[in-house]
Homo-oligomer: A and B are copies of this chain.
């Protein structure tokens, strides 16, 4: 395992975190983590973010039940973004709209 020291300073304390279904490869969502959310995610193996609108720690699925269970976390080459692979769950709706994935608006 490579020692990883995430660079939270590059973007004012936040890093983008991409969530991917580990079995299907589907991208479910992208949100931001501060150090607390990142550490809480590693500690609990449940995905946490920093809510930019509410300015606080946010456990994904806390109210909706759509908790994301971590299988693997990878950092990128310059340590300023992460990829979180989560357990496949057929009935999961990662998006607050009720969609499985947040990425459903076709641009091109």
Contact = CB atoms under 8 A, between A and B. Distances in A.
Interface in A52-89: 52, 70, 72-79, 81-83
A63 B27 CA distance: 29
A26 to B, nearest CB: 7
B72 A108 contact: yes
A74 B30 contact: no
Given A18-B27, A18-B30, A83-B103, A95 B77 contact: yes
Given A95-B77, A107-B75, A30 B4 contact: no
A98 to B, nearest CB: 10
A55 to B, nearest CB: 14
A72 to B, nearest CB: 6
A29 B76 contact: yes
A108 B42 contact: yes
Given A24-B25, A25-B25, A27-B27, A2 B105 contact: yes
* The 3 A-B residue pairs with the shortest CB-CB distance in the complex, in nearest-first order: A25-B25, A73-B107, A73-B108
